[in-house]
Amino acid sequence: MLWKKIGRNEPCWCGSGRKYKTCHEAMDERVNLAAMQGAIIPTRKMIKTPEQIEKIKESCLINIAVLDAIEKEIHEGMNTAQIDKMVYDITTDMGGIPAPLNYEGFPYSVCTSVNDQVCHGFPSEKVILQSGDIINVDCSTIKNGYFSDSSRMFCIGDVDPEWKKLVQVTKECVELGLEQVKPWGYLGDMGQAVFDHAAENGYSVVRDIGGHGVGLEFHEDPFVSYCTKRGTDMLLVPGMMFTIEPMVNMGDPDVFVDEENDWEVYTDDGSPSAQWEIQVLVTETGHEVLCW
């Protein structure tokens, strides 16, 4: 569906208070032209206003602070319930709410996914970090109703060089994907960059779970896949905001969900999996990373 135009002298739909003709009119025309040429275009709802972006950035600051604190503290012998407690305490001390807590029944403040756990791992006193483990800590914050979402990997003690490489290459996948994020490009430019770098290193990318729009809600459209091709998928427009969070497996891409809790995701073949997640804004000139 095309973006509905409004009178040139009317106040812009974005809420800037400026006249449409000096605000979003040119952008709307460009989006509609792309749509008429066959592109998948975002909805206007996906375009964040400057005011919303400022609010979301406050949320992101908490997310970054929490992950920075975990990065300092995480160590061999620690259990992942301690990480959960740290996330809860720091987030709430800073005036935020951990977004995962009670999200669709998720019972913790953070996801901690170790080794062959792909994502949505439950923090637990029974999961004690051992030398050689790789762990993803996935944090999300609500501040004044605005959402942030990012995750990092940590290598505990003495990690097998092959596993370290998986962690490193997965980070590079995110960086290479990010380089492709610019207005009037395509989400598939990012997706293919991620996919190709994983594949070149002999790894696979999880297909069923991906990134997402974020900001006004925890998970918004679009779904962000890494199995897309350059020049395809959604047109990137200034004001769009989404996560890049590929899950990269050393072995096969297939995963399964733990039937006992319907949350924790593991690789089918038991091979290790890594993930990094950033929250990115499409700007007029390129992109801005809001949290990592």
**Which residue ranges make up the site for ligand MF3 (CB under 6 A)?**
100, 103, 106, 111, 120, 138, 140, 149, 245, 277
CB of 128 to Co ion, least distance (A): 26
Residue span 122-161 as binding mask against Co ion, x where in contact by CB under 5 A, dash where not = ---------------------------x------------
DSSP result, 94-106? TT-EETTTTGGG-
Both tokens of residue 35? 């749509």
Q: Which of ligand MF3, Co ion, none binds 28 (CB below 5-8 Å, type-dependent)?
A: none
Q: What are residue 117's DSSP bridge partners? A: 266
Which of 2, 23, 12, 31 lies closest to 237 in space, CA to CA? Answer: 31
Shortest separation between residue 134's beta carbon and ligand MF3, angstroms: 17
Rounded to whole angstroms, the Cα distance separating 166 from 203 reads 8
Closest CB to ligand MF3 among 152 and 287?
A: 152
Nearer to ligand MF3, 12 or 139 (CB): 139
Between 84 and 245, whose beta carbon lies closer to ligand MF3?
245
Instruction: Identify the burial level of 89 via C-beta atoms within 10 angstroms of its C-beta, where 0-12 means exposed, 13-18 middle and 19 or more buried.
Output: middle
Alpha helix stretches (DSSP H) within 121-182? 161-179
At position 224, the amino acid (one-letter code) is: V
Closest to 170 in 3D by CA, of 133, 92, 118, 234: 118
Closest CB to ligand MF3 among residues 116, 149: 149
* Residue ranges in 19-58 that form contacts with Co ion under rule CB under 5 A: none
**Residue carrying the six token digits 């400026």:** 18
Q: Which does 100 bind (CB under 5 to 8 A by kind): Co ion, ligand MF3, none?
A: ligand MF3
User: Which of 243, 249, 267, 275 is close enough to bind Co ion by CB under 5 A?
Assistant: 243
Nearest to 171 by CA among 149, 145, 150: 150
Q: What single-letter DSSP state applies at residue 5?
A: P
Measured from the Cβ of residue 246, the count of other Cβ atoms closer than 10 Å reads 28
Taking the least distance from each CB to ligand MF3, the nearer of 6 and 216 is 216
In whole angstroms, the minimum distance from the beta carbon of 30 to ligand MF3 comes to 30
Question: 120 is in the binding site of which of Co ion, ligand MF3, none (Cβ under 5 to 8 A by kind)?
Answer: ligand MF3
Q: Tell me whether residue 138 or residue 233 sits nearer to ligand MF3 (CB atom).
A: 138
Distance (Å, rounded) from C-alpha 286 to C-alpha 34?
18
Candidates 153-161, 173-181, 242-250, 252-260; binding stretch for Co ion (CB under 5 A): 242-250
Q: What residues line the site for Co ion (CB under 5 A)?
A: 149, 243
